[in-house]
A and B are shown apart, each in its own frame.
Chain A
């Protein structure tokens, strides 16, 4: 008996040899395409971060800033801390409590468009877009030491505008004794604000004479590039004679007030963190010494300098004050 059976395979089903020998290549391309698609669709953070960085608004290098003037107020004779260290070792609790967190999580932030609200005892108040707010002033490079209350330090080439010029623009009245600053409150962009590590939003303040000191600046960049998000984009305070936590980041509000601000760290632990927070090797933190510090990138500790080495420019503001009480 003849059993007729249709062939399982027709000639047209057979893979041509030319394709067959390239089968691995085909698989790799297909897998690559699938992964690529997954990376952009299933894992949007990577794509978003890459996009943000090309716009100079991410966690990597920012956009180049033009017309930056060197300033005679810059600190000289110090080795600059590397860009990588300045942007990968941060305290910015809005993105998490550990030093690596800000760089890992700050891509969520959208620093443009950005508005800054000015309120309180001043002739001119209102809400201003970032560009409008910063436009009237020449950008200056200010190289400053930065001393963290945790006893480490850096040397950072900030780019910013003198705070006193900004304040003069708004013409504070005689009732304005202090200037208060507020960080953005936006848990969608600052993920750790959903937790309660600190009371949000972060608040800081300066006495009017401190704010008007020529050393005080609002920074918008570093290394002649726009500020990376983890360093406080788009605009932050820099007061180099004070511990780093006074340098409030990602500012959305400036208030001219007649009371001394209860700044965030003071609210957290009043026995350990004060309003003034001037760098002072003679006054220990209750739990650790402030006599020395580790400069990032160096092995041996350095002696901490009174007012972080800026005593000549700032010490007179505190004449007659008991710095042990006013820590």
Chain B
């Protein structure tokens, strides 16, 4: 088995652990006195963490030159969407129990919910078009569309930042990490441009950054 295939399987199983932990916790009654808020927080945490991990793939590939790692990107992005979906379902089913009016009020009147909803819709668009068939059909447009992940990461972080009663340091760390991940891409583009001008023969022609 190729190392990347093995790694992919290991990550697939590991990525399900947070969900499994919540299910076990729900049966054992260990999800605090307010399980709905707890599940909302944890699924949101993991949606955001997988979004950040997804954004690490390209920088790692550029720095190490280990190209097969790109094969993990779609799966990691889909895990972010998986936890975002659980997060959304917790909010709409457990928290509001399909009280559509209150949900609509929240989306319109609470900027942090608006941002959360916008993030979810962006991730939905990316998940739906994540198939190989979509990539082929959309061609260059696919790359452009999937740059939405940068915007989704920023709206997700803002949503995370706005949800607390007070800014917790955890959010600050994530903000630094996201700045680094997006900054890397800016740096790479600038570097590549110089590279292209000075030695166009070396340019591999690939420009898919997400």
Contact = CB atoms under 8 A, between A and B. Distances in A.
B168 interface: yes
Contact of A100 (B32, B96, B97): B32
Contacts of B95: 301
A313 interface: no
B166 A287 contact: no
Listed residue (A81, A88, A97, A268) with the most chain B CB atoms within 10 angstroms of its CB? A97
Given A287-B112, A289-B110, A149 B37 contact: no
Interface string A76-110: 00000110110011010100010110000000000
Contacts of A89: 32-34
Interface residues of A, number: 30
B37 A197 contact: no
B36 interface: yes
B34 A287 contact: no
A195 B192 CA distance: 43
B117 to A, nearest CB: 14
Contacts of B97: 299-300
A198 B36 CA distance: 26
A88 B33 contact: yes
Contact of B36 (A97, A149, A294): A294
Interface string B131-170: 0000000000000000000000000000000111110110
A89 B31 CA distance: 10
A297 B33 contact: yes
Contacts of A93: 166
Contacts of B34: 89, 99, 152, 294, 296
A146 B37 CA distance: 17
B92 to A, nearest CB: 13
Contacts of B165: 91, 149-150
Say whether chain A's binding surface is mostly helix, strand, loop, or mixed. loop
A268 B166 contact: yes
A99 B31 CA distance: 11
Contacts of B110: 287-289
Contacts of A97: 164, 166, 168
B109 interface: yes
Listed residue (B162, B165, B168) with the most chain A CB atoms within 10 angstroms of its CB? B165
A55 B162 CA distance: 42
B33 A85 contact: yes
Contacts of A301: 95-96
Interface in B100-121: 102, 105-106, 109-112
Given A150-B165, A289-B106, A88 B32 contact: yes
A57 B106 CA distance: 43
A58 to B, nearest CB: 19
13 contacts: A82-B33, A88-B33, A97-B164, A149-B165, A195-B169, A284-B109, A287-B112, A288-B112, A289-B102, A294-B34, A296-B34, A297-B33, A300-B97
Given A287-B162, A294-B36, 9 more contacts: A81-B33, A97-B166, A99-B33, A99-B34, A152-B37, A197-B168, A197-B169, A289-B105, A289-B106
**Nearest 10 CB-CB pairings of A with B:** A89-B33, A85-B33, A296-B33, A97-B168, A287-B112, A89-B32, A152-B34, A296-B34, A288-B110, A287-B162
